[in-house]
Structure 1
Amino acid sequence: MNDMNELKKSVNDGRVQYIWIGLKRTSVDKWQWSSGEPVLYLNWGSGQPDGGDECAFMRNAEWHDWSCSNSLTFICSSSNMNTGLVFVNQTKTWRDAQSYCRQNHIDLVSVRNQNENQQIQKFINDSHISNDVWIGLFRDSWQWSDQSNSSFRDWASGEPNNAGVDNCTAIGPNVLGQWYDGTCNSQLRFVCHEDKLILINETLMWPEAMRYCRQNYTDLVSVHSDKMQRRVMNVVKRASTEAVWLGLHNYCQMNMWLWLSGEIVCYQNWAPGNGTTPENCSLTKRKGAVQSGGDQRWISLPETHKLNFICSRS
């Protein structure tokens, strides 16, 4: 939603027009969480999913698919310190439930593993909820042209409404700037995106990678937040080496890790056994890299290793 707000600021010139964005329908349907978290766990009931329905609800700890236009009560994830859950005893379509959760809490609830599934069912039992409830699982075939895996959707009410014909997406002229499906050969204004992170598939030592980025872009990337880490995770999936250099270096005399941008490392995403114990200053200087596979944590490596690397434009 932050991206949408920035986008609306950049295109709000008073003219009432539709504007293309990079979301396009493909031939591949996949289940996704509304929150954008990866789908690593599924708990379908017997014979489910059983058709072309594209949204999921929970009944007796099992999941069922149903038409998103039907109305159910639902569970939002929230900042509630006790459970992190809020039951909303109003019946809404899946999309309207999603909007309600985003406006009033965090999002429709995600269920990432069996333990969470059991916790949600306990919450349902303890709250004496007797009806089916929407969860944040949905299926669609829309993908971003930059291949990013975001499942954020901001469709206007009733959209997308013309499957098989309108396969491209535009933001609308309404105040909310919500999304409409349109015919791809329509001629509209459009918004381009310049990625500020660039994966370089050459293999260089850390000092060489730093020099390359400074000569051609701005610098090796610094990762100051979970949001930036998620952007890095999208980029490193295309790497050809097991790890990828970041702009992270060890100031050995004080046993401190610093970013090339000058900041101390506050946000941290170290793999176990990395970054938290003193480095041996008598050996090769240590630099920070991010794993290109697994859970993509940061690791400490000798600067002489040859890896792909990420440059930043800003």
Structure 2
Amino acid sequence: MRDMTELKKSVNDGGVQYIWIGLKRTSVNKWQWSSGEPALYLNWKPGQPDGRDECAYMRNGQWEDTPCSNSLTFICSSSNMNTGLVFVNQTKNWTDAQSFCRQTHSDLVSVRNQNENQQVQKFINDNHISNDVWIWIGLFRDPWQWSDQSNSSFRDWAPGEPNNGGGNENCTVIKPNAQGQWHDIPCHSQYPFVCHEDKLILIRENLTWPEAMRYCRQNYTDLVSVHSVEMQEEVMNAVKRASTEAVWLGLHNFCSMNMWIWLSGEVVCYQNWAPGNGTTPENCSLEKRKGAVQSGGDQRWISRPETHKLNFICSRS
């Protein structure tokens, strides 16, 4: 929704009927989790899915498909590590259940392996929920794919959309005068459109930290500074394509004061250090230390000698 808010600000033109966005119907209609992850583990009841429906529920430890318009209770995953799962004893359709979980907890629950399936079933048993109750999980399928091939499962269709009127409405527009919600229309129609420019650019060259800084300043703005969870999420998305085990950030150690500072000039407030990094004094007599982000694992920040040669991330602004 943050993206939608920014998009609506940029297209606030009352004279435009429709504006293209990068969502298109494809021939691939595979199951995926609400979180955007592909569904690699599947625990369907024998005979399921029957191929007709687009959303999944759990009953007695197994999954079945059913129309997304049905009203069922559901389980949210929680960002609170103490609770983990939350059973919502209200009936909603799948899309409304997804929105409720995202607004109040984290997302509809993902069940990515047998262990998680057992954990969810144990949660149901521990909460004395009947095994006959149909409970939404975060599994759905649709044929819509973003043009940048991202796994985002966010959808903001207008009521009754997508309706595939005429059988050939395979591309997506927003209506600026109708809360900016989405409609499917034929791809051959001609309307204005919005292009996306990445704020962050992963450079898959192996350079030392000073070389990477010079490259970014000559070609973009600077090595990236990470001041928030939102920016860290963008960095995490960028480093997935890296060819080195870590990627330089615009983070350097100010030895004389034992402080880490961003190239933007700001002291590090938001922190995402890996254990044993960034919190103990660096031995500056040996070599200068700079900050990088791990390209694998949980993608935390690490301290590295500036002479190491790594990929790096430049920012455009």
> TM (normalized to structure 1)?
0.86
CA distance 1:25–1:292, shift in 2 (3 Å):
farther
Give 1:134 shift: 0.7
Give the one of 221, 235, 238 matched to 2:238.
235
- Give identity over the alignment, percent: 80
- Number of aligned residue pairs: give it: 313
1:99 aligns with 2:99: yes
* 1:22-61 deviation per Cα after TM superposition (whole angstroms, max 9, x unaligned): 122333344333244x358745144475343332212123
Determine the structure 1 residue equivalent to 2:141: 139
Distance in 2 between the 1:28 and 1:255 partners?
53
User: How far is 1:103 from its partner?
Assistant: 5.0
Contact residue 32 and residue 140 of structure 2 kept, 8 A: yes
**CA–CA separation in structure 2 for the residues paired with 1:191 and 1:94:** 29
1:283 and 2:266 correspond: no
Task: Determine helix, strand or coil for the equivalent of 1:27.
Answer: coil
Q: Which amino acid aligns with 1:261?
A: S
Shift of 1:254: 2.8
Task: Supply the distance in 1 between the matched residues of 2:256 and 2:40 (Cα, whole angstroms).
Answer: 45
The structure 1 residue matched to 2:163, chosen from 161, 164, 176, is 161
Residue by residue over 1:153-190, the C-alpha shift from the partner in whole angstroms, topping out at 9 and shown as x without a partner, is 11223322329732221113553322122222211111
Using the TM superposition, give the Cα deviation of residue 247 of structure 1 relative to its aligned residue in structure 2, in angstroms: 0.5
**Pairing of 1:274-313 with structure 2 (within 5 A):** 274-313=277-316
Q: Deviations over 1:178-227 (max 9, x none)?
A: 21222222111111222111112222211111111112221100112222
Aligned pairs for 1:215-226 within 5 A: 215-226=218-229
Question: 2:278, 2:231 → 1: CA distance?
Answer: 19
Change over 3 Å in CA distance of 1:26–1:272 after alignment to 2: farther
Aligned residue for 2:4, secondary structure, equals: helix
* Residues 1:44 and 2:47 are matched in the alignment: no
Tell me, in whole angstroms, the C-alpha distance in 2 between the residues paired with 1:60 and 1:253: 62
User: Which is worse superposed, 190-199 or 138-147?
Assistant: 138-147
Q: Secondary structure at the match of 2:96?
A: helix
Contact 2:33 2:39 in 1 (8 A): no
Deviation, 1:305, is 1.4
- Structure 2 unmatched runs, 5+: none
- 2 CA distance for matches of 1:208 and 1:79? 39
Distance 2:22 2:192 in 1: 12
Distance 1:110 1:264 in 2: 37
- Give a deviation string over 1:258-298, Cα, whole Å, max 9, x none: 21112222322233333233322122211111222333222
Provide the residue aligned with 2:268 in structure 1: 265
Q: Residue 28 of structure 1: SS of its match in structure 2?
A: coil
Taking structure 2 as the reference length, the TM-score comes to 0.85
Alignment of 1:177 with 2:176, yes or no, is: no
- Equivalent AA in structure 2 for residue 161 of structure 1: N
In the TM superposition, what is the alpha-carbon distance from 1:255 to its structure 2 partner? 2.6
CA RMSD of aligned residues (A): 2.9
Question: How far apart are 1:63 and its partner, in Å?
Answer: 2.9
- Are residues 262 and 283 of structure 1, via their aligned partners in 2, closer, same or farther at CA, if it must alter by over 3 Å? same
Q: 2-side partners of 1:205 and 1:81: how far apart?
A: 38
Q: Is the CA contact 1:43–1:62 (under 8 Å) kept in the aligned structure 2? A: no
Matches within 5 A, 1:87-126: 87-102=87-102, 106-111=106-111, 117-118=117-118, 120-126=120-126
Equivalent positions of 1:175-254 (< 5 A) are 175-254=178-257
Q: Deviations over 1:62-94 (max 9, x none)?
A: 333333233322233457796355444443321
Match of 2:5 in 1: 5
Structure 1 residues 40-49 or 260-269, which shifts more?
A: 40-49
How far the C-alpha of 1:114 sits from its partner, in A, is: 6.0
Provide the C-alpha distance between the structure 2 equivalents of 1:183 and 1:285, rounded to a whole number of angstroms: 57
Q: Bigger CA drift: 128-137 or 300-309? A: 128-137
- Tell me if the contact between 1:41 and 1:114 (Cα under 8 Å) persists in the aligned partners: no
Are residue 57 (structure 1) and residue 26 (structure 2) matched? no
Structure 1 contact 48–63 (Cα < 8 Å) conserved:
no
